[in-house]
Amino acid sequence: MPHKSLRNYAHNLDKRLRFRLRLYLLISLILIGILVFNVLKGTLRVDYGLLGLVAGVGIGIISSRMFHISWNKNAKRVVSQLDTLGIGILILYFLFEILRGTIVGFFTHDIQVATTGFAVLAGIMYGRLLGTRGRIIQILEEQEILG
């Protein structure tokens, strides 16, 4: 499947949703840059960094569901709102973030916990971007706006 850009369809997105996507992208790029720096500096093993990143992307895609994304017929835009399931996911996400260091500590050595946890965080932010973007593309295709 070819890469689908949302850049030309930004006018079909709610302002808050556009802002959230841009924020996820910016934070993801910064965190991945720091992750690469830590690998190059030798403070994080490559395998731990990759595993943390992959695990984080999975968690991020799941947590992107905390906001229900749908088509608003009146505004003719994609909008998002926090629903009941989203509140539950948000609570689980906060718990995970609070316990991230402890959870990562089960799988890595003491010295690697912080940097591996950071890799997980980078993955979470990128996964949230991917999950949100994927749902937006799906909605725009359903509305026959994106072909």
**Where are the alpha helices (H) located in 9-45, listed in sequence order?**
15-41
Cα separation, 95 vs 70, whole angstroms? 27
C-alpha 7/C-alpha 10 separation (Å) is 6
Separation of alpha carbons 92 and 11, rounded Å: 32
Q: Where are the domains of the chain?
A: 13-142
Integer Cα distance of 88 and 40 in angstroms: 38
Work out the number of other CB atoms within 10 angstroms of the CB of residue 133. Answer: 18
Please give the chain's pLDDT, 147 residues, in tens.
Answer: 456 677 888 888 999 899 989 999 999 999 999 999 999 999 888 998 999 999 999 999 998 888 889 999 888 899 988 878 778 877 888 888 788 778 877 877 767 777 888 888 899 999 999 999 999 999 999 988 876
**pTM over 0.75, yes/no:** yes
The DSSP H or E segment spanning 140 is helix 110-142
